[in-house]
């Protein structure tokens, strides 16, 4: 969910750089040849173009690892929605050669409506034209402080709506029109590709703008936004109530013991919990045992175990009733700033809680509208009210939980969602719940929408599990060739192969080499 600095774009403005592309192509990359787009309710303020080169270093997560120099026309459309006091910058990269006739919409992460340039490079290296939007605010992932509130602490609803959905529909319109103007023909197909916020963006496009994209790849989606962002603060609240802040070495020890206890439930011992629902390990059984990596040495306490147990249990009301899901057993609890039970320590016995920044920001900026509020002052019942307020005020804007995908289905759209079961930020159960709700409305949803769980994978990438190697290609095959994905190829960091199965099926070991995907079949259960 975190952005790299956008410094990798190298403008090819010199004669020697332009020599790398035919003169006609450099000439076409000009406002004289690219018409300003027509944006619904939008007014174009500026259109800039420049022939550009990009030092692409490759991406293991997309299966493209060879570095290369990409040459393309970089178009930036700056526009506003009159009366909303917004200024949005939408970027389109158009490869000079070998365009595949497809447009790709590129998603963002956290509060950033777009990702960094590496994601655009991932698209161009595969010969897509690609579009991304800043949503009208700075491309900063972890905080909304530069745009969410005005001087009187009123929420900037126009920019929130731009971030939530309006700029996304605009970007599809802009990307299609700019591609048409540049190449002389429109894209044959348009695809969305995103994870986290990008996954949420894909789903809201399917829900609200069903003809914007023919195919959507929406991974680890940040749907149920007003609910899960409040629930992400729950582990910190628990630690504050218990007045105990386990060091990372302690929570890592509990996680390791959990994986050891539940690893083999799927018939393969590979350091991965493939079915968290079958894992009934109780961390309280570890009380009094040593957390071996701690310095100075210490034993796991009852309160340490309780923090973990309640983090798995998820957000509960003051009366103990369910409010939202927790992390799955085996997910990392304290993984730097990108985790929910993170603590900052001067030693393993002297720690303080460190909330996930986006969760804390949402509660302070959007729910309480008080940037200086001390979240450690919460008492039982406060999070109940925070959650209720968050949902009441913002679910219709950014909840992205509408299960009615009938218009997307009628438009012929195809969509894939995958979610890592060891995701340490966005609760996989929330994605499963949404998929079940879609199915309750339309039992034939697998004709156009399939969900794949990825055991042992963290948020969008990393982890001991098998990561999907190229899920977007499965969407393309489905849209263009009618090939519905019966499984998705995945690979671990050490090269072991697996298949991911369409929910509710799971990959069951059939014998043979455990590192070979041919040794697994999709079945109803372990």
Q: Which of 384, 367, 112, 418 is nearest to 226 (CA)?
A: 367
Residue 352 parent element (H or E): strand 350-353
Q: Distance from CA of residue 37 to its chain's centroid?
A: 29
Residue 513 is among the residues annotated as catalytic for this protein? no
Tokens of 518: 């041919």
Tokens of 85: 């006091």
**CA atoms of 115 and 221, how far apart (whole Å):** 15
- Residue labelled with tokens 């972890």: 142
Tokens of 129: 């034209």
Which residues neighbour 117 within 8 Å (Cβ) at sequence distance 6 or greater?
4, 6, 8, 9, 54
Considering the candidates 53, 459, 462, 487, report the single residue annotated as catalytic: 459
Residue 68 is among the residues annotated as catalytic for this protein? no
93 close to 72: Cβ distance less than 8 angstroms = yes
105 close to 171: Cβ distance less than 8 angstroms = yes
DSSP tag of 438: H
**CA atoms of 427 and 222, how far apart (whole Å):** 9
Tokens of 250: 């302690």
Residue 79 parent element (H or E): strand 68-80
**CA atoms of 500 and 452, how far apart (whole Å):** 6
Q: Can you tell me whether residue 381 is helix, strand or coil? A: coil
Considering the candidates 181, 196, 227, 338, report the single residue annotated as catalytic: 196
- Residue labelled with tokens 């969509």: 415
Considering the candidates 423, 462, 487, 489, report the single residue annotated as catalytic: 423
Burial class (CB in 10 A: 0-12, 13-18, 19+), 335: buried
Q: How many residues in total does the chain contain?
A: 526
DSSP tag of 316: B
Residue 196 is among the residues annotated as catalytic for this protein? yes
Active site residues: 196, 423, 459
């Amino acid at each position: 969910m975190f952005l790299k600095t956008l410094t990798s774009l190298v403008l090819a403005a010199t004669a020697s750089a332009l020599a790398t592309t035919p003169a006609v192509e450099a000439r076409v990359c000009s406002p004289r040849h690219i018409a300003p787009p027509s944006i619904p309710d939008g007014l174009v303020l500026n259109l800039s173009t420049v022939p550009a080169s990009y030092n692409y270093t490759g991406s293991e997560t997309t299966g493209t690892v060879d570095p290369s120099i990409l040459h393309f026309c970089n178009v930036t459309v700056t526009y506003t929605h009159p009366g909303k006091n917004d200024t949005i910058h939408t970027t389109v990269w158009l490869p000079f050669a070998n365009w595949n006739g497809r447009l790709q919409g590129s998603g963002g992460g956290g509060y950033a409506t777009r990702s960094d340039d590496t994601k655009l490079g991932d698209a161009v290296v595969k010969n897509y034209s690609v579009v991304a939007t800043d949503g009208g605010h700075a491309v900063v992932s972890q905080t909304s402080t530069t745009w969410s509130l005005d001087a009187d602490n009123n929420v900037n609803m126009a920019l929130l709506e731009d971030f939530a959905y309006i700029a996304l529909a605009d970007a599809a319109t802009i990307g299609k029109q700019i591609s048409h103007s540049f190449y002389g023909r429109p894209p044959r197909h348009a695809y969305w590709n995103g994870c986290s916020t990008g996954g949420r963006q894909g789903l809201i496009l399917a829900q609200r703008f069903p003809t914007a994209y023919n195919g959507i790849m929406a991974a680890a989606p940040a749907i149920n936004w007003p609910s899960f962002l409040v629930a992400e603060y729950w582990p910190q609240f628990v630690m504050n109530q218990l007045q105990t802040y386990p060091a990372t070495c302690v929570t890592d020890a509990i996680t390791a013991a959990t994986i050891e206890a539940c690893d083999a439930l799927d018939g393969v011992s590979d350091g991965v919990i493939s079915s968290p629902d079958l894992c009934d390990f109780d961390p309280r059984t570890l009380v009094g045992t040593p957390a071996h990596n701690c310095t100075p040495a210490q034993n796991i306490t009852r309160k340490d175990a309780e923090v973990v147990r309640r983090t798995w249990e998820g957000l509960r009301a003051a009366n103990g009733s369910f409010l939202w899901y927790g992390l799955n057993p085996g997910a990392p609890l304290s993984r730097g700033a990108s985790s929910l039970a993170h603590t900052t320590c001067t030693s393993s016995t002297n720690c303080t809680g460190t909330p996930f920044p986006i969760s804390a920001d949402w509660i302070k900026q959007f729910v309480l509208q008080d940037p200086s509020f001390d979240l450690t002052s919460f008492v039982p019942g406060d999070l109940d009210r925070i959650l209720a307020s968050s949902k009441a005020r913002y679910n219709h804007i950014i909840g992205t939980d509408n299960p009615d995908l009938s218009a997307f289905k009628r438009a012929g759209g195809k969509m894939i969602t995958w979610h890592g079961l060891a995701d340490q930020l966005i609760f996989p159960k929330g994605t499963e719940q949404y998929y079940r709700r879609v199915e309750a409305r339309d039992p034939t949803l697998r004709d156009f929408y399939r969900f794949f769980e990825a055991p042992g994978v963290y948020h969008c990438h990393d982890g001991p599990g098998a990561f999907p190697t190229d899920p977007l290609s499965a969407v393309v095959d489905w849209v263009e060739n009618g090939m519905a994905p019966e499984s998705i190829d995945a690979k671990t960091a050490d090269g072991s192969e697996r298949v991911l199965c369409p929910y509710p099926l799971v990959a069951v070991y059939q014998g043979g080499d455990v590192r070979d995907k041919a040794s697994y079949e999709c079945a109803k259960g372990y």
